[in-house]
Amino acid sequence: MKQTQQLLDTLKQQLRAQGKTYRCLAAHLALSEASVKRLFSERTFTLERLEQACDFIGLDIGELAALSRAAQARLQALTRAQEAEIAEDTALLLVAISVINGFSFNDLLDYYALSEQECIRKLAHLDRLKLIDLLPGNRIRLRVAPNFSWLADGPIQRFFQLKVQQEFFNSRFNADTENLMVLNGVLSRASNQKLQTLMGKMYQEFNQLMKDDAALPMADRKGNTLVLALRQWQYPLFKQYMK
């Protein structure tokens, strides 16, 4: 099942790279767009349908499998030293996060007050760190795996905890694009582990939605930040009352 998911992830990446949408693929397969989305989400492609989809993007199944294997060799994380190098340069961190989220060179220039020369320098720096390949024409090819993540308690995570966390929570969270839930309860260790599993699924769902939206123009997408946290923890204020 894992290999099937990897193949379908690669198929979606190839569709995006060629500027082809689910709607285009649906027309090729003589299906509705909703049916195609369901094929991907439920991983119910038949071999015949997969062959047809590969034909649509000019590949055979063997070539798709080779691309899938190459993708698995991509970076899943940076070293602590690499993260520290990025965290020390705010502009470099901004560019790194943006390209991981699908920004092109022109997107970077449109959204940020960076000169073309500075933008190229930052991208070249990320190329040296093996985070991306900077191709002719300032095209960007990511070298990170779909499950790439920053190191737990690493330089990037600490940067956000120290410099971004307070600003992030400085909101009433009452807009229709915001939501804040704070829950507190007494749970067993087994229930704690179950919640962590659910958090992992939410992480995967967030990444999947980001991939699904990658074909949309940047004007139709806005930055979203999701924070999931769980600790066996009680408010320090209450500790004085505990036996």
Segment 24-61, tens digit of pLDDT: 999 999 999 999 999 998 888 999 999 999 999 998 88
Using the 3D structure, point to which of 166, 195, 216 is the last residue of a domain: 166
Using the 3D structure, point to which of 72, 103, 132 is the last residue of a domain: 72
**Which residues, 6+ apart, have CB-to-CB distance to 196 below 8 Å?**
230
Residue 81's H or E segment, with its range, is helix 80-87
User: With the CA atoms of 78, 83, 84 and 85 taken in that order, what torsion angle do they form, in degrees rounded to the nearest 10?
Assistant: 100
Segment 144-190, tens digit of pLDDT: 876 678 888 899 999 888 888 888 888 899 999 999 988 888 889 99
What range does the domain containing 37 cover?
2-72
Work out the pLDDT band at 1, boundaries 50, 70, 90. Answer: low
Distance CA 116, CA 108 (A): 9
Exposed e or buried b for every residue in 191-216, given b needs 16+ CB within 10 A?
eeeeeeeeeeeeeeeeeeeebeeebe
Is residue 243 in some structural domain?
Answer: no
CATH of the domain at 123: 1.10.10
206, 127: one domain: no
pLDDT of residue 74: 67
Q: Is-above-0.85 flag for pTM?
A: no
202, 226: one domain: yes
Total count of domains within the chain: 3
Residue 77, SS3 per DSSP: coil
